[in-house]
């Protein structure tokens, strides 16, 4: 690596210190353009939220009538309505399927245990779990590997401007729905809430394709959505709807999309997201009311509020506040440890047989769920609950398991329930004294460890529910330990423990606070909830990042943070440019364009006007690779190097012809059939050139350029010279050029933390 003279100096201790930005010559971009999506390595590319102001776009924009504008706005609201309805239906189906499939499995096991056929009961329990796990893993392995995991990191990266293969494809949606049902019903310590966010985003992407020629959905108003900007807004609404459908928390869904998922937000999007989640909430309430009469099998008893603790008395003293602060601090430490261990497990697991791994972990989970309750003592039923204890069946507390009549098994009440029922049992204020300290401690350790081991297998799996279960068991353990020393009961401590774990792992505050309040229907817990979330997040931030940020980084998705890194202040925009730069003339030879497209993977090329089309070399704008392919396929060539004018091109093309095709169905380089004599002909690039691209001066600090790039949602940022006499454009900054791996590869002397 060559350094400019006088770029470094030696201080009194003999250490090198930078005196001015390093300028390295003959640099090339060597870092990868691939990332882990699901469980496979896939190519990725950036999204472009910039308005392409070329002649075709301007003409289309000017020619839109009021009726067409009204159609466009009305269709936007119609699409978000359809997204809300579809996501609500999928959320209802998921709950219905999980409750009935898991209920059948637990009923079968319970009936065999009542007949004292304990070995057959375990065999039936384990076999059901392994079959369900194998089906879920097979769907991911053979149909859509991108559906594995929660999907929130992928949605978060997409809304940041990163597109990867199949992350929002219809096949991914199919596997996400059914794989999540089978995975949760298999008894894994996973949740369906994370996958619901991905499901909502997939539904929104499907509606936002801008029509389909294959299925003859080519209405003119649909073509307006053939761009990344409108799809981004719809997918943001879909992510919010997914949270609302998973937790039945409409306001929390909007706030989660704002705080965690979306990188760009505006007031119009807030209205649409709120409308989408409201549709989800109304639809779910209607279905739940319908199912309360037993028309949906085992589903419908929970109501819209999943975990109702509104009956608990909320009164606390200064002593209680100290206990709550301790719960938040310890929860933050345990949450950051959870993130650390999840990261280690995901990194060390490596390529393995996906189905075999899922079945093995399913067997391990079955052994823990069935075996650990045998270590728990049988407890006499409380006299006040003789009619309800023990519970014979699937739902409810006080499971009999292997105990004699009028006795119950505390661990079985937690393990032999669905995840939602286990949380209800832990948060219930009417079950004080039900769970002994040993029961809570054993369940906490088992769920904590199983959640870490399970996450990352090839099934759609969320982290919300495992974290809530572990946190609520930890909180109830603390509440039971304190006993009569605190005015808060064990159920409220369980809720605060869940909040502390969520804050320690997810690192969000406002959205989690609202989601938990909507889940529990208890506004009196707001001050304590805010305190716990703030403390747990602050403590956990001292150790590592949030779990989704860690997974985004581990997968290699080039996510741009809202802030620039400190070392970027020592560099300017021209210091990280990758060369050589490929540019085109305003009227370019067809052979030159085709050669550049074949030898370069760039998605944007500067267009420079030269004499005789201008007095001197000047930057005309930027032309996109996809637009060049469309133009080349139509073969609008000339034998002489002359301007064609926009009028001729507008007669043959419309603006939507250059819109982004859905699901990679656009023109490819292989589709071109250019003959030998056509290679020497010319093509006018002016009508499709974006004449107002965003540019920065080469001396702008890289930190400022990074903020500029992210805030505007750019894919290309042109760097122009500071002084005259140089070429009109120095280079192009892309997302890749702002990544730490690229910058620190060029300047290894920089400390990434300083």
How many whole angstroms separate alpha carbon 126 and alpha carbon 370? 9
How many whole angstroms separate alpha carbon 99 and alpha carbon 97? 6
Which one has a higher pLDDT value, 416 or 176?
Answer: 176
Q: Identify the top-confidence range among 166-170, 373-377, 447-451.
A: 447-451
Q: What's the pLDDT score for residue 99?
A: 86
The upper half-sphere exposure of residue 297, i.e. CA atoms within 13 Å in the direction of its Cβ, equals 14
How many whole angstroms separate alpha carbon 148 and alpha carbon 140? 6
Q: What's the pLDDT score for residue 299?
A: 62
How many whole angstroms separate alpha carbon 597 and alpha carbon 633? 13
Q: Is the pLDDT of residue 440 over 70?
A: yes
Q: How confident is the model at residue 39 (pLDDT cuts 50, 70, 90)?
A: low
How many whole angstroms separate alpha carbon 281 and alpha carbon 292? 16
Q: How confident is the model at residue 220 (pLDDT cuts 50, 70, 90)?
A: low
Q: Which of 246, 242, 237, 238 is nearest to 271 (CA)?
A: 237
Q: What's the pLDDT score for residue 138?
A: 94
Between CA 509 and CA 206, with CA 37 as vertex, the angle to 5 degrees is: 80
Q: What's the pLDDT score for residue 393?
A: 54
Sheet of 40-46: strands edge to edge? 34-37, 40-46, 162-164
What domains, with CATH codes, occur in the chain? Answer: 66-291 (1.10.3080.10), 563-746 (3.10.580.10)
Q: What's the pLDDT score for residue 178?
A: 96
Q: Is the pLDDT of residue 63 over 70?
A: yes
pTM here is: 0.90
Q: Which of 743, 409, 394 is nearest to 576 (CA)?
A: 743
Q: What's the pLDDT score for residue 277?
A: 97
Residues, the chain: 754
Average pLDDT over residues 586-604: 91
- CA distances in angstroms from 48 to 170, 183, 299, 629, listed in the order given: 22, 35, 44, 17
DSSP state string for 216-263: TB--HHHHTT-SHHHHHHHHHHHHHHHHHHHHS-HHHHHHHIIIII-S
Average pLDDT over residues 146-160: 92
Between CA 610 and CA 617, with CA 611 as vertex, the angle to 5 degrees is: 35
Q: What's the pLDDT score for residue 733?
A: 94
Tell me the torsion sign for CA atoms 429, 432, 434, 437. Answer: positive
Q: How confident is the model at residue 2 (pLDDT cuts 50, 70, 90)?
A: very low
Tell me the pLDDT tens digit for each residue of 638-647: 888 888 766 6
How many whole angstroms separate alpha carbon 576 and alpha carbon 746? 8
Average pLDDT over residues 50-75: 84
Q: How confident is the model at residue 67 (pLDDT cuts 50, 70, 90)?
A: confident
Percent of the chain whose predicted confidence (pLDDT) is above 90: 47
């Amino acid at each position: 690596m060559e350094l400019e003279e006088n770029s470094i100096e030696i201080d009194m201790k003999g250490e090198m210190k930078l005196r001015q930005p390093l300028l390295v010559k003959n640099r090339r971009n060597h870092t990868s353009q691939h990332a882990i999506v699901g469980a496979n390595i896939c190519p990725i590319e950036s999204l472009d939220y910039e308005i392409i102001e070329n002649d075709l776009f301007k003409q289309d924009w000017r020619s839109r009538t009021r009726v067409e504008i009204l159609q466009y706005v009305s269709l936007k609201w119609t699409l978000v309505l359809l997204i809300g309805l579809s996501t609500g239906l999928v959320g209802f189906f998921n709950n219905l399927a999980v409750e009935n499939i898991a209920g059948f499995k637990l009923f079968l096991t319970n009936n065999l245990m009542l007949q004292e056929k304990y070995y057959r009961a375990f065999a039936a329990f384990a076999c059901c779990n392994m079959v369900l796990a194998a089906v879920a893993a097979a769907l991911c392995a053979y149909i859509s590997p991108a559906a594995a995991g929660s999907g929130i990191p992928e949605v978060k990266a997409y809304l940041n401007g990163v597109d990867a293969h199949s992350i929002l494809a219809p096949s991914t949606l199919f596997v996400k729905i059914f794989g999540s049902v089978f995975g949760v019903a298999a008894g894994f310590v996973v949740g369906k809430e994370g996958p619901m966010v991905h499901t909502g985003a997939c539904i929104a992407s499907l509606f936002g394709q801008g029509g389909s020629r294959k299925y003859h959905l080519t209405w003119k108003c649909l073509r307006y959505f053939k761009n990344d900007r409108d799809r981004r807004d719809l997918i943001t609404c879909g992510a919010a709807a997914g949270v609302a459908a998973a937790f039945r928390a409409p306001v929390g869904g909007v706030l989660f999309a704002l705080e965690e998922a979306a990188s760009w937000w505006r007031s119009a999007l807030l209205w649409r997201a709120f409308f989408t989640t409201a549709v989800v909430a109304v639809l779910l309430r209607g279905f739940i009311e319908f199912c309360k009469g037993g028309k949906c099998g085992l589903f419908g008893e929970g109501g819209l509020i999943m975990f109702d603790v509104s009956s608990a008395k909320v009164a606390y003293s200064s002593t209680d506040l100290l206990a709550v602060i301790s719960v938040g601090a310890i929860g933050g430490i345990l949450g950051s440890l959870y993130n650390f261990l999840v990261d280690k497990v995901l990194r060390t697991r490596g390529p393995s047989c996906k189905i075999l791994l899922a079945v093995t972990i399913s067997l391990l989970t079955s052994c823990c769920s069935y075996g650990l309750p045998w270590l728990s003592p049988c407890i006499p039923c409380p006299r006040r609950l003789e009619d309800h204890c023990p519970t014979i069946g699937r739902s409810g507390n006080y499971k009999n398991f292997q105990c004699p009549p009028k006795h119950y098994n505390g661990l079985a009440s937690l393990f032999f329930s669905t995840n939602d029922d286990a949380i209800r049992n832990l948060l219930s204020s009417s079950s004080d004294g039900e769970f002994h300290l040993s029961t809570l401690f054993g369940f906490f350790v088992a769920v904590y460890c199983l959640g870490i081991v399970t996450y990352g297998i090839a099934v759609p799996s969320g982290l919300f529910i495992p974290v809530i279960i572990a946190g609520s068991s930890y909180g109830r353990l603390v509440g039971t330990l304190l006993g009569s020393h605190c005015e808060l009961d064990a159920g409220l401590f369980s809720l605060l423990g869940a909040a502390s774990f969520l804050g320690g792992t997810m690192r969000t505050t406002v959205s989690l606070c609202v989601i938990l309040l909507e889940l529990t229907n208890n506004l009196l817990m707001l001050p304590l909830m805010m305190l716990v979330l703030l403390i747990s997040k602050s403590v956990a931030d001292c150790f590592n990042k949030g779990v989704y940020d860690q997974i985004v980084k581990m997968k290699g998705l080039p996510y741009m943070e809202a802030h620039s890194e400190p070392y970027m202040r020592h560099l300017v925009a021209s210091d990280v440019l990758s060369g050589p730069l490929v540019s085109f003339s305003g009227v370019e030879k067809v052979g030159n364009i085709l050669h550049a497209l074949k030898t370069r993977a760039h998605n944007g090329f500067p267009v420079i006007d030269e004499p005789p089309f201008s007095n001197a070399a000047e930057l005309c704008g930027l032309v996109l690779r996809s637009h060049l392919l469309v133009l080349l396929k139509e073969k609008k060539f000339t034998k002489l190097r002359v301007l064609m004018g926009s009028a001729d091109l507008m007669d043959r093309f419309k603006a939507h012809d250059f819109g982004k095709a859905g699901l990679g169905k656009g023109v490819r380089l292989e589709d071109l059939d250019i003959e030998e004599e056509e290679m020497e002909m010319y093509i006018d690039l002016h009508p499709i050139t974006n004449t107002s691209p965003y540019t920065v001066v080469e001396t702008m600090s890289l930190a400022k350029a990074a903020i500029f790039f992210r805030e505007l949602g750019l894919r290309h940022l042109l760097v122009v010279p500071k002084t005259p006499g140089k070429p009109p454009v120095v280079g192009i900054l892309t997302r890749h050029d702002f990544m730490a791996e690229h910058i620190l590869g060029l300047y290894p002397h920089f400390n990434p933390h300083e």
